[in-house]
Amino acid sequence: MKSILIPFAVAMLLLTACSKDDNPINNPLDSVPVIQQTATYEVNFEDDLIYAEGLSHESLNSTNSAAIPLKLDIYSPVNQVENRPLFMFIHGGAFANGSKQQWAIRNIADYYASRGWVFASIDYRLLDDLGTVPTEWADFSTSLPAEYVGSFNAMYPAQRDAKAALRWIMANKDAYNINEDYITVGGASAGANTAKALAVSNADDFTAEISAAQDPTLPTTNLDQAYKIQTVIDFWGGEGVTDAFEAIYGIDLFDSNDPVLYKAHGTADPTVPFTSALELQDIYESIGVIMKLDTLIGVGHGDFNATLDGKSLEELAFDFIVEQQNLIVE
């Protein structure tokens, strides 16, 4: 692994924007979801579904706190199919801003839902929400330059919420005809950072560090639900969350059981340097897990309109998911 402390502090300045399963999937053909090559279905949109609650403090970990609702949107195809793959997406924004309904995510959601996926876009607690942070996490943050502390401490509740969102979806999978063997998680920038940590962390990580006595909202987060992520989609994200976890707890979350990963990253990215993509590629080579890196020549940070060989980001990710999950395409 690359060194943690100094690169991590630099990465935080630049960030402006569970279970594991083996791959590829080898399930009987009659259990494999069938998706469409082109937009085929109308899309049903459900917004602001509450997936859990989380604490918001007056100041970091203060006793003066309130439980706030955590929400997600569901885009689902209007059809009678009872065997659908899932794609859960996490927005970016440096853990300080952003929304599950930004235009680019809505476009991605329509792309996938119109082809047969159930697509979920989630909100999570941001920097100003001052979510609960484990004591050891907060203590570690004091070693960082002051300008990084807020974003650093916001990463933990964001990760905790992302895990809760996926557990809620699993608790409601039958309502949406989701096949739990075909789960993709993805995101952009800070959201990709979070998606990777969601995919490579274990069930208790980012959950067990704070007890229900310390955080009475924990029972709202469907702790009885399990999930297996098969594929990760990373648009120009860093590794700040996994780096932080390793620095604080001494645990390298990456291992050979991690799901396969697709990454698109611009060579002119001034926010999360392209070198971070090459470092991640080295990590995946070292653990023996498939990672595809699409290099976007001359592209900066957050360009959802970027293309490669005439294909959009949605198409590039589509091809990777289909290949790795062995989906049936009509």
The SS3 of residue 116 is coil
Per domain, the residue ranges of the chain are: 5-329
Residue of 264, 260, 259 whose CA lies nearest to 313: 264
Structure confidence by residue, pLDDT tens digits, 256-279: 999 999 999 999 999 999 999 999
What is the predicted pLDDT for the residue at 206? Answer: 95
**Amino acid letter at 117?**
W
Rounded-to-integer distance, Cα 280 and Cα 153, Å: 23
Residue 90 neighbours by CB under 8 Å, 6+ apart: 122, 124, 162, 185, 186, 187, 188, 191, 192, 194, 195, 198
- Structure-token match 């399963």, residue found: 21
Q: What is the pLDDT of residue 25?
A: 55
Q: What is the pTM of this model?
A: 0.91
Q: What DSSP string describes 167-190? A: HHHHHTGGGGTEEEEEEEEEEETH
Q: E-strand spans in 19-156?
A: 34-35, 43-57, 65-77, 84-90, 118-122
Architecture of the domain whose range is 5-329 = 3-Layer(aba) Sandwich (3.40)
Distance of alpha carbon 289 from the chain centroid: 18
Tell which phi-psi region holds residue 73, choosing left (phi > 0), alpha (psi between -120 and 50) or beta: beta
Report the distance separating Cα 248 and Cα 263, nearest Å.
26
pLDDT at position 218 is 95
- Residue pLDDT, tens place only, 119-129: 999 999 999 99
DSSP state of 41: S
Q: State the 10-residue block means of pLDDT for the chain, 330 residues long.
A: 39 38 52 97 98 97 96 98 97 96 97 98 98 97 94 97 98 98 98 97 94 93 97 96 96 96 97 96 97 98 96 98 97
Predicted confidence at residue 308, as pLDDT, reads: 97
